[in-house]
Amino acid sequence: MTRWMILAPIVSIALLATPATAALPKDPLASPMWAFVGNQVFGANAVVRFDPRVKVSFPTIAENQRVFPVQVDARGIPNVVRMVIMVDLNPIQLPLDYRLEDADAFVATRIKLDQRTPVRGAVQLKDGSWLVSGGWIDAAGGGCSAPPVSRVKGDWSQHLGEVRGGLWQRDGTARLSLAFRHPMDTGFVDNIAAYYLDELAVTSSTGRPLGKLKFQAALAEDPVIALQPHLREGEGVRFDGRDTNGIEFRGRVEPIR
Protein backbone atom coordinates (compact mmCIF):
# COMPACT_ATOMS: atom_id res chain seq x y z
CA MET A 1 0.00 0.00 0.00
CA THR A 2 2.76 2.41 0.88
CA ARG A 3 4.67 1.65 -2.33
CA TRP A 4 1.57 2.25 -4.51
CA MET A 5 0.84 5.62 -2.84
CA ILE A 6 4.36 6.87 -3.53
CA LEU A 7 4.53 5.84 -7.21
CA ALA A 8 1.07 6.85 -8.45
CA PRO A 9 1.51 10.66 -8.29
CA ILE A 10 4.88 10.44 -10.08
CA VAL A 11 3.41 8.49 -13.00
CA SER A 12 0.43 10.84 -13.23
CA ILE A 13 2.60 13.94 -13.42
CA ALA A 14 4.72 12.48 -16.22
CA LEU A 15 1.66 11.54 -18.28
CA LEU A 16 0.13 14.99 -17.92
CA ALA A 17 3.33 16.85 -18.79
CA THR A 18 4.14 14.98 -22.03
CA PRO A 19 1.36 16.22 -24.36
CA ALA A 20 1.59 19.77 -22.99
CA THR A 21 5.06 20.31 -24.47
CA ALA A 22 4.80 18.20 -27.63
CA ALA A 23 3.22 20.85 -29.90
CA LEU A 24 5.75 23.64 -29.32
CA PRO A 25 8.58 24.13 -31.84
CA LYS A 26 12.17 24.53 -30.74
CA ASP A 27 12.74 28.04 -29.44
CA PRO A 28 15.28 30.04 -31.51
CA LEU A 29 15.88 32.24 -28.44
CA ALA A 30 16.66 29.19 -26.24
CA SER A 31 14.59 30.54 -23.35
CA PRO A 32 14.40 28.28 -20.28
CA MET A 33 10.75 29.35 -19.83
CA TRP A 34 9.54 28.91 -23.42
CA ALA A 35 7.65 25.66 -22.79
CA PHE A 36 6.03 26.92 -19.59
CA VAL A 37 4.87 30.27 -20.95
CA GLY A 38 4.01 28.90 -24.37
CA ASN A 39 1.73 26.22 -23.00
CA GLN A 40 -0.12 28.79 -20.89
CA VAL A 41 -0.79 30.97 -23.91
CA PHE A 42 -1.25 28.51 -26.76
CA GLY A 43 -2.58 25.38 -25.06
CA ALA A 44 -1.48 21.80 -25.53
CA ASN A 45 -2.60 21.12 -29.10
CA ALA A 46 -2.16 24.44 -30.91
CA VAL A 47 -0.12 24.81 -34.08
CA VAL A 48 2.70 27.28 -33.30
CA ARG A 49 5.26 28.66 -35.74
CA PHE A 50 7.98 31.30 -35.52
CA ASP A 51 7.41 33.95 -38.19
CA PRO A 52 9.38 37.20 -38.74
CA ARG A 53 6.28 38.84 -40.21
CA VAL A 54 5.24 39.36 -36.58
CA LYS A 55 7.30 42.50 -36.08
CA VAL A 56 8.18 43.07 -32.43
CA SER A 57 9.89 46.42 -31.83
CA PHE A 58 11.57 47.60 -28.64
CA PRO A 59 14.71 49.54 -27.65
CA THR A 60 18.01 47.67 -27.65
CA ILE A 61 18.69 48.84 -24.09
CA ALA A 62 16.19 49.00 -21.23
CA GLU A 63 17.07 52.40 -19.78
CA ASN A 64 14.16 52.16 -17.35
CA GLN A 65 13.00 48.64 -16.48
CA ARG A 66 9.76 50.05 -15.02
CA VAL A 67 8.69 51.62 -18.31
CA PHE A 68 9.78 49.67 -21.40
CA PRO A 69 8.04 50.35 -24.75
CA VAL A 70 6.97 47.39 -26.90
CA GLN A 71 5.18 47.41 -30.25
CA VAL A 72 3.74 44.38 -32.06
CA ASP A 73 2.86 44.91 -35.72
CA ALA A 74 1.31 42.05 -37.71
CA ARG A 75 -0.52 44.13 -40.30
CA GLY A 76 1.17 42.14 -43.07
CA ILE A 77 -0.55 38.94 -41.93
CA PRO A 78 -4.19 38.26 -42.89
CA ASN A 79 -6.86 36.91 -40.53
CA VAL A 80 -5.29 37.91 -37.20
CA VAL A 81 -7.86 37.69 -34.39
CA ARG A 82 -5.73 37.93 -31.24
CA MET A 83 -2.41 39.43 -30.14
CA VAL A 84 -0.43 38.86 -26.93
CA ILE A 85 2.81 40.18 -25.47
CA MET A 86 4.92 37.58 -23.65
CA VAL A 87 7.81 38.27 -21.25
CA ASP A 88 9.35 34.88 -20.50
CA LEU A 89 11.41 35.60 -17.38
CA ASN A 90 9.11 38.07 -15.67
CA PRO A 91 7.20 36.79 -12.64
CA ILE A 92 4.11 38.08 -14.50
CA GLN A 93 4.61 36.95 -18.08
CA LEU A 94 1.54 38.14 -20.01
CA PRO A 95 1.08 41.90 -19.64
CA LEU A 96 -1.40 42.24 -22.52
CA ASP A 97 -3.92 40.09 -24.40
CA TYR A 98 -5.75 41.84 -27.26
CA ARG A 99 -8.71 40.33 -29.11
CA LEU A 100 -9.34 42.21 -32.33
CA GLU A 101 -12.82 42.85 -33.64
CA ASP A 102 -12.54 45.65 -36.22
CA ALA A 103 -8.98 46.93 -36.15
CA ASP A 104 -5.55 46.46 -37.67
CA ALA A 105 -3.25 43.86 -36.15
CA PHE A 106 -1.22 46.43 -34.25
CA VAL A 107 -0.70 47.25 -30.58
CA ALA A 108 1.86 49.29 -28.67
CA THR A 109 2.26 49.75 -24.92
CA ARG A 110 4.82 49.93 -22.08
CA ILE A 111 5.70 47.07 -19.75
CA LYS A 112 7.83 46.26 -16.70
CA LEU A 113 10.96 44.09 -16.94
CA ASP A 114 12.26 42.18 -13.96
CA GLN A 115 15.51 40.90 -15.52
CA ARG A 116 17.16 40.01 -18.82
CA THR A 117 14.46 38.21 -20.76
CA PRO A 118 12.98 37.39 -24.16
CA VAL A 119 10.14 39.73 -25.10
CA ARG A 120 7.78 38.28 -27.69
CA GLY A 121 4.70 39.07 -29.69
CA ALA A 122 2.33 36.28 -30.67
CA VAL A 123 -0.70 36.47 -32.97
CA GLN A 124 -3.50 33.97 -33.38
CA LEU A 125 -5.14 33.44 -36.77
CA LYS A 126 -8.76 32.55 -37.51
CA ASP A 127 -7.80 28.90 -37.95
CA GLY A 128 -6.51 28.81 -34.34
CA SER A 129 -2.81 28.62 -35.19
CA TRP A 130 -0.22 30.99 -33.69
CA LEU A 131 2.70 32.95 -35.16
CA VAL A 132 5.46 34.16 -32.81
CA SER A 133 8.50 36.42 -32.96
CA GLY A 134 10.66 38.43 -30.55
CA GLY A 135 14.12 38.86 -29.08
CA TRP A 136 16.21 39.13 -25.93
CA ILE A 137 16.52 42.39 -24.02
CA ASP A 138 19.09 43.18 -21.33
CA ALA A 139 17.54 44.83 -18.31
CA ALA A 140 18.48 45.58 -14.74
CA GLY A 141 16.39 43.75 -12.16
CA GLY A 142 13.47 44.99 -10.14
CA GLY A 143 10.94 46.32 -12.63
CA CYS A 144 8.15 44.22 -11.10
CA SER A 145 9.26 44.50 -7.48
CA ALA A 146 9.93 48.24 -7.15
CA PRO A 147 7.14 50.46 -5.78
CA PRO A 148 5.38 52.67 -8.35
CA VAL A 149 6.51 56.29 -8.50
CA SER A 150 3.02 57.49 -7.61
CA ARG A 151 3.11 55.35 -4.45
CA VAL A 152 6.41 56.91 -3.43
CA LYS A 153 5.05 60.41 -4.06
CA GLY A 154 1.83 59.52 -2.28
CA ASP A 155 -0.40 61.17 -4.89
CA TRP A 156 -1.69 58.11 -6.73
CA SER A 157 -5.21 58.29 -5.26
CA GLN A 158 -5.60 61.91 -6.36
CA HIS A 159 -5.19 60.95 -10.02
CA LEU A 160 -6.65 57.45 -10.11
CA GLY A 161 -9.19 57.17 -12.90
CA GLU A 162 -7.87 59.99 -15.07
CA VAL A 163 -7.63 59.11 -18.77
CA ARG A 164 -6.23 61.03 -21.72
CA GLY A 165 -7.07 60.00 -25.27
CA GLY A 166 -6.21 61.02 -28.79
CA LEU A 167 -7.15 60.08 -32.35
CA TRP A 168 -4.94 60.75 -35.36
CA GLN A 169 -5.21 60.06 -39.05
CA ARG A 170 -2.13 59.17 -41.07
CA ASP A 171 -2.02 57.74 -44.59
CA GLY A 172 -5.65 56.72 -44.30
CA THR A 173 -5.11 54.87 -41.01
CA ALA A 174 -6.57 55.88 -37.66
CA ARG A 175 -4.35 55.71 -34.57
CA LEU A 176 -5.90 55.68 -31.10
CA SER A 177 -3.90 56.40 -27.95
CA LEU A 178 -5.28 55.97 -24.42
CA ALA A 179 -3.25 56.90 -21.31
CA PHE A 180 -4.53 55.86 -17.87
CA ARG A 181 -3.44 57.04 -14.44
CA HIS A 182 -3.07 53.86 -12.39
CA PRO A 183 -0.34 52.47 -10.09
CA MET A 184 -0.47 48.97 -11.64
CA ASP A 185 0.72 47.31 -8.42
CA THR A 186 2.20 43.84 -8.94
CA GLY A 187 1.80 42.58 -5.38
CA PHE A 188 5.57 42.06 -5.06
CA VAL A 189 6.15 45.17 -2.92
CA ASP A 190 5.82 44.78 0.85
CA ASN A 191 2.40 45.83 2.20
CA ILE A 192 1.03 46.72 -1.26
CA ALA A 193 -1.45 44.22 -2.70
CA ALA A 194 -1.76 43.52 -6.41
CA TYR A 195 -3.99 46.18 -7.99
CA TYR A 196 -4.12 46.90 -11.70
CA LEU A 197 -6.16 47.86 -14.74
CA ASP A 198 -7.81 44.59 -15.69
CA GLU A 199 -9.88 44.91 -18.87
CA LEU A 200 -10.84 47.37 -21.58
CA ALA A 201 -13.45 47.30 -24.34
CA VAL A 202 -13.15 49.71 -27.27
CA THR A 203 -16.05 50.54 -29.59
CA SER A 204 -16.75 53.14 -32.23
CA SER A 205 -18.92 56.10 -31.24
CA THR A 206 -21.73 54.43 -33.22
CA GLY A 207 -21.45 51.24 -31.17
CA ARG A 208 -19.36 48.95 -33.43
CA PRO A 209 -17.03 46.69 -31.39
CA LEU A 210 -13.38 47.41 -32.23
CA GLY A 211 -11.50 45.25 -29.74
CA LYS A 212 -11.17 43.94 -26.19
CA LEU A 213 -8.05 43.88 -24.05
CA LYS A 214 -7.06 42.04 -20.88
CA PHE A 215 -4.14 43.30 -18.81
CA GLN A 216 -1.94 42.06 -16.01
CA ALA A 217 0.19 43.99 -13.55
CA ALA A 218 3.33 43.66 -15.71
CA LEU A 219 1.96 46.58 -17.71
CA ALA A 220 3.84 49.75 -16.73
CA GLU A 221 2.49 52.22 -14.20
CA ASP A 222 0.18 54.77 -15.84
CA PRO A 223 -0.32 52.47 -18.85
CA VAL A 224 -0.50 53.79 -22.39
CA ILE A 225 -2.17 51.75 -25.14
CA ALA A 226 -2.00 52.50 -28.87
CA LEU A 227 -4.30 50.74 -31.36
CA GLN A 228 -5.30 51.17 -34.99
CA PRO A 229 -9.10 50.81 -35.14
CA HIS A 230 -11.11 50.85 -38.35
CA LEU A 231 -13.20 54.02 -38.19
CA ARG A 232 -15.70 55.40 -40.63
CA GLU A 233 -15.94 59.06 -41.49
CA GLY A 234 -17.20 61.03 -38.51
CA GLU A 235 -16.75 58.20 -36.00
CA GLY A 236 -14.99 58.64 -32.68
CA VAL A 237 -14.13 56.01 -30.07
CA ARG A 238 -15.69 54.96 -26.78
CA PHE A 239 -13.86 52.94 -24.14
CA ASP A 240 -15.13 51.09 -21.11
CA GLY A 241 -12.65 49.53 -18.67
CA ARG A 242 -12.33 48.48 -15.06
CA ASP A 243 -9.57 47.62 -12.63
CA THR A 244 -9.28 44.75 -10.14
CA ASN A 245 -11.07 46.80 -7.46
CA GLY A 246 -14.06 47.36 -9.76
CA ILE A 247 -13.34 51.04 -10.48
CA GLU A 248 -14.62 51.91 -13.96
CA PHE A 249 -12.83 53.92 -16.63
CA ARG A 250 -15.24 55.22 -19.26
CA GLY A 251 -14.97 57.92 -21.82
CA ARG A 252 -15.04 59.02 -25.42
CA VAL A 253 -12.42 60.26 -27.85
CA GLU A 254 -13.82 62.68 -30.38
CA PRO A 255 -13.75 61.81 -34.11
CA ILE A 256 -10.97 62.84 -36.41
CA ARG A 257 -11.66 66.15 -38.13
Decide if 214 is inside a domain.
yes
CATH of the domain at 166: 2.60.40.2470
Has residue 17 got a pLDDT over 50? no
Average pLDDT over residues 24-31: 96
User: Rounded distance, CA 105 to CA 54, Å?
Assistant: 10
Report the number of distinct structural domains present in the chain.
Answer: 1
Decide if 91 is inside a domain.
yes
pLDDT tens string 82-118? 999 999 999 999 999 999 999 999 999 999 999 999 9
Question: Looking at this protein, which amino acid is placed at residue 152?
Answer: V
Decide if 248 is inside a domain.
yes
User: Rounded distance, CA 204 to CA 239, Å?
Assistant: 9
pLDDT in the model for residue 147: 64
Q: For Cα atoms 118, 191, 151, give the angle at the middle one, nearest 5 degrees.
A: 75
Regarding pTM above 0.95, the answer is no
pLDDT in the model for residue 53: 98
